[in-house]
Amino acid sequence: MSAVACSDAVAVVGMACRLPGNITSPKEFWEVLFHGRDVITDAAPEHPRSAILPAGILSDDVLTGFDHAHFALTAEEAAALDPQQRWGPELVDEALQHAGIAPSTLRGSRTGVWWGSSFLDQAITHLGAGSAAMTMVDTAAALPSMAPGRISRAFDLRGPSELVDTACSASLVALHRACQALRLGEVDLAVVGGANALVLDTHTRMFRNSGALSPTGRTRPFAADADGFIRGEGAAVVILQRLSDAHRAGAPVRACVLASATNNDGASPGGVGAPSHRAQAELLRRVYTEAGIDPAAVDYVQTHGTGTRSGDNAERAALDAVLGRAGSAQQPVWLGSVKSNVGHLEGAAGLASLIATVLALQNETIPPTAGHTRPMPQLHDNGALRVPTQSVPWPAGQDGQPRLAAVSAVGFSGTNAHAILAEPPPPLEAAGEPAAPGAGAQLVPISAAGQSELATTADAWAS
């Protein structure tokens, strides 16, 4: 890692997620990734949400449940909320716990919130009806722009609070904006999230009519038999700090964001929604050049990887032009895509990919791409880009350098994003720190908002 990259690094200190397959934690997400499983729900006429299947969907309790009392909301107000306005505060609470940060310490702080979303189902459903009895509460509960504001209000955060909507690249663009704000000193802590909920079948029908959805019901990125993507719903949140601040606070640094950048396809051929491999390659060249990082040092890329012919071809061409290593098939760049596991989370897709990449760095393992058997013919050209079909041990970086990975996202809007990640540096040794305690009884303090919640939490800890 260059000195410049290290001094500018942003630490990922906390993560939380709600994903298909009853995934409610990063640990559960890693289990699915490591074993190369997909958690797609197949179409079934008797299923209550059959109109959107096959898809990666959340269980009913996750989709509709919300601990409204914990966030001082009435049951009536909570019932009207857009699902992502319910998931946001809960996941931020969990991500702060993951980071070892007491939410109460952030009240009035310069903590910013950036939220990626392209989900409009709730607004269409509730605002489109135009009920004469509609109030400001109903409007606020449905507007996508209220999702980050709901989080800022719940935790009394005084930094920027912004919605980012660049379609499928939204949450990775949100991450880029948060990293910029940290590096510029605009905020001291950043909350980045993204969500997608499949409430209406409108967009599913649109994607199906356009030929983008897989008729065989699975997403197969960079595969010879790829035939489109499958939609998915869920949410993800990460907590970011400047690396120097994280070290001073003793925060658990899980990975470092060394650099990130965004651009747009501009007036590329093919019309709206057609990806541009030239624009994607331009973005890759710029971010690596400006960060002073050799692209050849990147071992793993969590790609956008939709499994569509045009999307995968454009992304492969851009990655090959910048990250491909001619004649180094023994040391390839591994290409993954969580869309093969959980479906395409659209506005939240980039952040789901980011969490998957952090988990791969932490576990020193490159996970397989679910259901991949035969690579697309273009990947045979030099073998420098490869899709893993089983978990691959991730060797340590050469000459003491950290393992490097990257995340890409491509938006229907033409906005592309790319972030370069590294495993965290070794923890700083603090002088005079006591030795770790040995075996024996340990005191575990437990807190909760009320007596019944305390009992539930104690039960969970006891097991």
* Catalytic machinery residues: 168, 304, 344
Mapped onto helix, strand or coil, the DSSP state of residue 111 is strand
Cα 86 from Cα 252, distance rounded (Å): 27
Structure tokens at 162: 């912004």
Cα–Cα distance list, 192 to 19, 42, 214, 246, 351 (Å) = 16, 31, 30, 16, 8
Strand segments, DSSP code E, in 296-433 are 298-302, 333-336, 365-366, 385-386, 392-393, 404-410, 415-422
Give, for 150, the enclosing helix (H) or strand (E): helix 146-155
Cα 340 from Cα 337, distance rounded (Å): 6
**115, 117, 102, 113: which is closest to 158 by C-alpha?**
113
Structure tokens at 95: 């991500």
Cα 139 from Cα 123, distance rounded (Å): 8
Tell me: cis bond preceding 54? Omega within 30 of 0 counts: yes
- Alpha-carbon dihedral sign for residues 365, 369, 374, 380: negative
Cα 350 from Cα 419, distance rounded (Å): 10
**192, 222, 321, 239: which is closest to 13 by C-alpha?**
239
How many alpha carbons lie under 13 Å from residue 400 in its C-beta half-sphere? Answer: 3
Give strand pairing partners of 113.
161, 191
Give, for 310, the enclosing helix (H) or strand (E): helix 309-322
